[in-house]
Amino acid sequence: MSMNRRDFLLTAGALSLGRPALARTSAARPRVIVVGAGFGGASCARFLKEWEPQVEVTLIEPRPQFISCPMSNTVIAGMNRLEDITLPYDYLKRRVDHFVADRVTDIDVGKRTVTTAQGLSLAYDRLVLSPGVELMFDKVEGYDATAQETVKHAMQAGPEQTGVLRRQLEDMPDGGVFVIAIPMAPFRCPPAPYERISLVAQYLKRHKPRSKVIVLDANGDLVSKKALFTTAWKKYYGYGTDDSLIEYRPDNRVIGLDVAEMEVRTEFDEAHGDVINLIPPMGAGALTARIGARTGDNGMWCPVDFLSFESLEAPNVHILGDAMLANLSKAAALANTSGKLCAWALGEIFAGRQPDPEPVLSSTCYSLGSDQAAFNVATVFRYNPKSKLLEVQEGSNGVSDHESAEELKYLRGWAHNIWIDTLALPRDYPFTNRF
């Protein structure tokens, strides 16, 4: 079941009933290139083509399959397999004009061309970048290419990250130490490291009960769902007692790594681990820096016009998802929604109209504190023309009062629905994940 433009904006509360359609102002067929088939880029490409069939949509993505970051912590903890969160691009390929299995190496904003690793040169009228994040390994002394072979971040799901960290956890001796280091916010999916702590602790409790998790958090406290996570830690893992499986150390920014000694060094402390899960600082994907779009927050993120998600630095380039400079969480649901809104805005631009002056985005994010129950945060944002920002709407920032088995069912449904929506999967797609 697909969603048309009208249905989408009625759902978002951003379309006036009865507005007449206007004729196209140009007979030329607009060309849009979308780089990156994650939650933002795939959603934009899919719905742009669905809503505006006359637009020529090219989607460029080097990965042969989609591997979901949401739910990837369940793979690390042994609750799912990697194949359970690996999904095909086959259905999405049928929705766009061209699906290019390649990597973009250069962008000429002046000439409006994109160059790929295989030597293709593609022209565009509008370019959409959904590049995700760049992991700033150089911000941690010793986190070089050799160290990266052993020490994983697992914030980009796949066999070389999620799969390796899972095997390392399995191979860790009972009585061993799992060290996880969290960078200063903002970073991709704020609750993800805290969910990972929870599920790793659950695995250790069942299979290696003499082990522990040491958390080195560069932030002064948990930056997402604090009360819900700490309640789960107390309930399941003895947090706050002498027998806690989890040792949480705030204000501990990792500055150095010695992979030979399996040691991380912070500004005040050091920790040895049998397994080290070191998440480095992040910034907008490297392509955005190459075109001068990554200028916000000390050159880390990309400022955009939230009416169309067009870069404030690079004309005719629209930037989605985690790469944006915004007060939005860097979450899958917001990337998916912003992709649709960008698709709508492009349709308006090509029709010679202005994009919706007060767009609305919504986001729901589920997390696990164990395999028994889940909890969520849901938020609605609306564009404020005065501040030119997407602002949380009063009364819309809902957080679960407590974890529940019912919300665990909702989490599964949420995952299936966003995968279907993003990748144009059929409603009866045979998902295999248990969690």
> The domain spanning residue 348 has which CATH number?
3.50.50.60
Last residue of a domain, one of 280, 297, 331: 280
Same domain flag for 242 and 123: no
Q: Answer yes or no: is 398 within a domain.
A: no
CA proximity to 80, closest of 157, 193, 194, 180: 157
Q: Is the pTM of this model over 0.85?
A: yes
Q: Answer yes or no: is 256 within a domain.
A: yes
pLDDT recorded at residue 398: 84
Q: Answer yes or no: is 207 within a domain.
A: yes
Q: Answer yes or no: is 376 within a domain.
A: no
Q: How many CA atoms within 13 Å lie on the side-chain side of 334?
A: 30
**Which residues form the domain of 343?**
5-17+29-135+283-355
Last residue of a domain, one of 318, 340, 355: 355
Same domain flag for 33 and 108: yes
C-beta separation of 328 from 319 below 8 A = no
pLDDT recorded at residue 208: 98
Cα–Cα distance measured from residue 116 to residue 118, given in angstroms and rounded to the nearest whole number: 5
Same domain flag for 186 and 145: yes
Same domain flag for 249 and 337: no
Cα–Cα distance measured from residue 209 to residue 112, given in angstroms and rounded to the nearest whole number: 57
Last residue of a domain, one of 355, 375, 410: 355
Sequential DSSP letters for 109-157: TTTTEEEETT--EEE-SEEEE---EEE-GGGSBT--HHHHTTSB--SS-
Same domain flag for 41 and 68: yes
pLDDT recorded at residue 27: 53
Same domain flag for 275 and 146: yes
Q: Answer yes or no: is 399 within a domain.
A: no
Q: Answer yes or no: is 200 within a domain.
A: yes
pLDDT recorded at residue 26: 45
Identify whether 281 is preceded by a cis peptide bond (ω within 30 of 0).
no
Domain count, the chain: 2
Same domain flag for 96 and 160: no
Rg of the chain taking only CA atoms, in angstroms: 22
Same domain flag for 155 and 245: yes
Q: Answer yes or no: is 427 within a domain.
A: no
Same domain flag for 153 and 254: yes
Same domain flag for 13 and 124: yes
User: Looking at this protein, which amino acid is placed at residue 129?
Assistant: L
Same domain flag for 79 and 177: no
Q: Answer yes or no: is 426 within a domain.
A: no
Same domain flag for 107 and 53: yes
Q: Average pLDDT per run of 10 along the chain, which is 435 residues long?
A: 43 33 56 98 98 98 98 98 98 98 98 98 98 97 98 98 98 98 96 98 98 98 97 97 97 98 95 98 97 96 98 98 92 96 97 95 94 95 94 85 95 97 98 91
